[in-house]
């Protein structure tokens, strides 16, 4: 029983005659009769008998009607879903993002995106850059947002913004009174910053070397957001990205680091896999937030 046969059988059961079913479906009576006869031939038994000028369902028809009706209704739901998807009213966008992105620009970007696409489901994977890159490569996410480009053969990255390094400290720290913080200012102070595996680490080392002072880390970070409880707890000054809105956290302030060291906010997709049709609308929302 195919979908067309199911539709005509269901209509005949519902409307009581081939003619009425044909009219409700917008087909000719001979065409509906032909489909019915072909269905009965395939099944090997009659579905309807004409008795006293009336078309009456057989016991076999009654036995299969309930399930046939359920299947047809499920097909209608599926048709509606496919139409909705084609109209871009529903869909899925899978995002992999480093924690600093999630703690800064991503909430507003998603808010703007979902305002125009309220039925699109979003899957957010908050992971370190290495794991985000792995998920992008194997196809578990549609796009990646990280603080440096993902370098892989099939990955295409675009720099969205330059993100300067800042010094994050408690609000009552003497350095909070200065407009900027330099490597000299951090000599003898417990320093919290990225470990040597971070892509920005060589640039920070170079900035300290230019000032003739060592970069002596007290606490190594893999993600800048880990600095929030550390700085609040008085464990040192953090040298981290300026993407996170540090000044929004009570008792914490951020000051520009000089000489300027920048990280790159990048969006990446896997060119070896189909690009989500919601990628461009989301990217538009993201760019809007970055211009504010």
240 and 188 in a single domain? The answer is yes
Q: Give the pLDDT of residue 167.
A: 97
Q: Which of 67, 86, 105 is the last residue of a domain?
A: 86
170 and 150 in a single domain? The answer is no
47 and 177 in a single domain? The answer is no
226 and 246 in a single domain? The answer is yes
Q: How many CB atoms lie within 10 A of CB 202?
A: 10
Q: What is the DSSP letter of 17?
A: S
81 and 117 in a single domain? The answer is no
Which ranges constitute the DSSP H helices of the chain? Answer: 3-15, 18-25, 29-43, 59-86, 99-102, 106-116, 129-138, 201-210, 227-232, 279-291
Q: Give the pLDDT of residue 5.
A: 85
Contact 126, 97 (CB under 8 A): yes
128 and 272 in a single domain? The answer is yes
- How far is residue 92's CA from residue 95's CA, in Å, rounded to a whole number? 10
| Residues belonging to the chain | 292
21 and 138 in a single domain? The answer is no
Low-confidence ranges of the chain (pLDDT < 50): none
Give the CATH number of the domain where residue 10 resides. 1.10.10.10
152 and 276 in a single domain? The answer is yes
The structure tokens listed for 163 are 């993100």
155 and 178 in a single domain? The answer is no
Q: Which of 62, 86, 110 is the last residue of a domain?
A: 86
Q: Give the pLDDT of residue 161.
A: 95
Q: Give the pLDDT of residue 84.
A: 58
- First vs last C-alpha separation in the chain: 59
Q: If 0-12 CB within 10 Å is exposed, 13-18 middle and 19+ buried, where does residue 44 land?
A: exposed
Q: What is the DSSP letter of 147?
A: S
Q: Give the pLDDT of residue 89.
A: 57
Domain, as residue range, for 227: 163-262
Is the bond preceding residue 151 a cis peptide, omega within 30 degrees?
Answer: no
Give the CATH number of the domain where residue 185 resides. 3.40.190.10
> Which are the contacts of 214, defined by CB distance < 8 A and separation ≥ 6?
208
The closest alpha carbon to 103, from 199, 213, 1, 246, belongs to: 246
Q: Give the pLDDT of residue 180.
A: 97
The structure tokens listed for 83 are 């139409």
Q: Could you give the number of structural domains in the chain?
A: 3
49 and 185 in a single domain? The answer is no
The closest alpha carbon to 94, from 277, 288, 292, belongs to: 277
28 and 115 in a single domain? The answer is no
141 and 187 in a single domain? The answer is no
> Which are the contacts of 60, defined by CB distance < 8 A and separation ≥ 6?
43, 45, 46, 47
């Amino acid at each position: 029983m195919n979908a067309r046969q199911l539709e005509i059988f269901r209509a005949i059961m519902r409307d009581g005659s081939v003619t009425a079913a044909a009219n409700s479906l917008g087909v000719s009576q001979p065409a509906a009769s032909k489909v019915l006869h072909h269905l009965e031939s395939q099944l090997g038994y009659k579905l309807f008998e004409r008795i006293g000028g009336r078309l009456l369902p057989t016991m076999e028809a009654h036995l299969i009607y309930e399930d046939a009706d359920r299947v047809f209704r499920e097909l209608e739901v599926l048709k509606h879903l496919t139409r909705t998807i084609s109209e871009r009213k529903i869909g899925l966008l899978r995002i992999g993002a480093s924690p600093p992105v999630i703690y800064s620009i991503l909430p507003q970007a998603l808010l703007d995106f979902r305002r125009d696409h309220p039925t699109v489901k979003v899957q957010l994977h908050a992971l370190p850059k290495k794991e985000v890159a792995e998920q992008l490569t194997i196809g578990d996410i549609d796009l990646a947002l990280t603080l440096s480009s993902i370098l892989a053969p099939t990955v295409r990255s675009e720099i969205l913004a330059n993100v300067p390094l800042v010094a994050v400290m408690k609000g009552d720290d003497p350095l909070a009174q200065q407009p900027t913080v330099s490597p000299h200012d951090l000599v003898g102070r417990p320093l919290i910053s990225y470990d040597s595996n971070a892509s920005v680490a060589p640039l920070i080392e170079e900035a300290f070397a230019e000032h003739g002072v060592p970069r002596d880390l007290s606490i190594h970070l893999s993600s800048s957001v880990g600095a929030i409880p550390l700085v609040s707890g008085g464990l040192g000054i953090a040298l981290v990205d300026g993407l996170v809105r540090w000044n929004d956290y009570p008792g914490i302030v951020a000051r520009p680091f000089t000489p300027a060291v920048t990280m790159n906010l990048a969006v990446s997709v896997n060119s070896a896999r189909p690009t989500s049709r919601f990628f461009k609308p989301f990217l538009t929302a993201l760019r809007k937030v970055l211009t504010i």
